[in-house]
Structure 1
């Protein structure tokens, strides 16, 4: 290092300097001594240089193509559940999430590896020593740093490597498109186009498809195509069972029977309170007749973030969500009493038919699960 003070040039002298002179001046003004500043490719256009350029371009191209594949798979890959008995459909469905992860991972990896390889192969690896100094940036400092950056760009030969520039642009565009597609994907299909049907956020599979249709409560026996309806006498006092909707029109439709068990907003906790507990129930205004005797039915979707509230504590009559430990009081219209949940569990209105089978009197009167933008509460 040198302790000699460098006198800044006048504005007229500064204007006459070329880039090399500005680079040299900038290093001196910053108290920097360039020990080594080698050209990565002193002999231009060699086979090794071309191979290095193609390798960098290959990784950028992989990133761009992977980003495009991510967007394509996110939007057009078969993502709806298919039962295992449909081998082809189930196989494609099972690849949806892994394919999203692989393509997005490759997009990030390809761009990162391409940048690292370009830095290693083409950016000059100078060795510099700089003296410690204080003070802000002057006009001469600004001019020299711009010159140094421009010189670095020239020495890295990026200006004449159109293949790398195009492939890098493809990689950055592909990854950017993938990142933009994630928040935009939910707007491709309008969730409010037909809000009165059971496919909207406001309704569930318990909604009758036509006036007068009976929707039964069905238990899951482990065999998707078996229909096991629930009678009022099937549960002991203090018992709980998860039930799903069933329609007679679906009895011989294997796909519909299986889909009813896998739809996320269908599961309902059917609880039969003990007589002593039933006498202490506090009912929600407007839902005074939603129960049938000692039987109460609540959605299994937690009102916090939609985890399954699959635990029922008979002694305390509390419904528990294992994800974030929210607790709901089954004797107080499913009101939250502990944890992050702030809204009561939606209650399904139920009764029995003339054969003693438990049925739904209609759909939930509020949206189940966590909040969303259009929800008022």
Structure 2
């Protein structure tokens, strides 16, 4: 056998043992060296960065103005093209308003605000000293940000910030004129109004609706209505047919369906998104916005998701020609739940 004394784990030093008590400590590497930015060394680069930040804030201001032009200047005329143009204007205006402020502040911080890394030791908190330290920190932040000596950035930021909140104020104030919950209690549905296909307006016969099928439905005459979009937002309906034995009908609703054909409001009771997905095997209706799920066999009771109220049911029957017709309007308000609906 050879001599293994020079390569054993206990003598080679490669394996720590219980007897080794002196452990080397990691040395504090300190802060990394500061690398000056171009704006730190070149006054022209600093002014250029300042102008870039100001331009971004001006873009935010333009975006807010564009939003107001789309919101107040474009009048809807019940055509899809006008509605899409207004939505495009509102979306682009909001995007530029928010993006201009966000990118401008980030660019300001990266190019003009001090980027030195510092280490501060924690100190004992004392009331008066803490107050004075807070004042000193705030003053230091204002000084380092350069907002006091860069009026161009300061003024454009103030202008962009003030204007950016105005769209929200305008929207909520404008809602106050039509926020009466009674508006949602009445739609174009009434006794004898035929159910028609959306968007063609073609009447639907009971024989057209097979088990497992689903139709997107609007009331007859909607396409000729004066305020087509507003009326459609309240009256749009989903029409489906089940085996009548699978329906759990509440007392008083026995004549609300016709041979298993049922009609329910398409407007989700959470925030008003269109419920457009029907799973025929489970008889579930799904809202794609927040995944609220309604059970068609239980009168569209909520079985999952944030919706707090079942979808309103439209009572239906057939006329002398076999076409599906409503027997009345909805018996409850359509759309999102609110405390006045009771």
Specify the TM-score bucket, using the shorter chain as the normaliser: 0.5 to 0.7
- 2:61 aligned residue: 64
Instruction: Report deviation, 1:371.
Output: 1.2
Contact kept? 1:205, 1:260, Cα under 8 Å: no
Q: In the TM superposition, what is the alpha-carbon distance from 1:104 to its structure 2 partner?
A: 2.3
Once the two structures are superposed, the pairs formed by residues 132-171 of structure 1 within 5 Å of their partners are: 132-137=121-126, 139=128, 142-143=131-132, 146-147=135-136, 149-150=138-139, 153-154=142-143, 157-171=146-160
2:166 is matched with which residue?
177
Q: Does the 8 Å CA contact 1:309/1:320 hold for their aligned counterparts?
A: yes
Q: Distance in 2 between matches of 1:152 and 1:270?
A: 62
Work out which of the residue numbers 64, 81, 84 in structure 2 matches 1:94: 84
2:341 paired residue number: 375
2:171 aligned with 1:206: no
Which residues of 2 match residues 1-377 of structure 1 at below 5 A? Answer: 50-78=47-75, 82-83=79-80, 90=81, 92-120=82-110, 122-126=112-116, 130=119, 132-137=121-126, 139=128, 142-143=131-132, 146-147=135-136, 149-150=138-139, 153-154=142-143, 157-181=146-170, 184=172, 187-192=175-180, 195=182, 200-207=183-190, 214-220=192-198, 224-225=199-200, 227-236=201-210, 241-247=215-221, 256=225, 259=228, 263-274=232-243, 277=244, 282-292=248-258, 294-304=260-270, 306-308=273-275, 310-311=277-278, 313=280, 318-321=283-286, 323=288, 324=291, 326-330=293-297, 332=298, 334-336=299-301, 338-340=303-305, 343-376=309-342
Conservation of the 8 A alpha-carbon contact between 1:74 and 1:100? yes
Deviation at 1:364, TM superposition (A): 0.9
Structure 1 residue ranges without an equivalent (≥5): 1-34, 84-89, 209-213
User: Cα RMSD over matched residues?
Assistant: 4.4
Secondary structure at the residue paired with 2:194?
A: strand
**Is the contact made by 1:217 and 1:360 (CA closer than 8 Å) also made in structure 2?**
yes
TM-score normalised over the length of structure 2: 0.68
Distance in 2 separating the partners of 1:338 and 1:148: 53
Structure 1 pair 296/94, CA: closer, same or farther in 2 (3 Å)?
Answer: closer
**Could you tell me whether the CA contact under 8 Å between 1:328 and 1:345 is conserved in 2?**
no
Q: CA deviation at 1:168?
A: 1.6
Aligned residues: 307
- C-alpha deviations, 1:34-73, integer Å up to 9, x for none? x99x9x7899xx7665544433322222222323333443
With over 3 angstroms needed to count, the CA separation of the structure-2 counterparts of 1:144 and 1:370, relative to structure 1, is closer
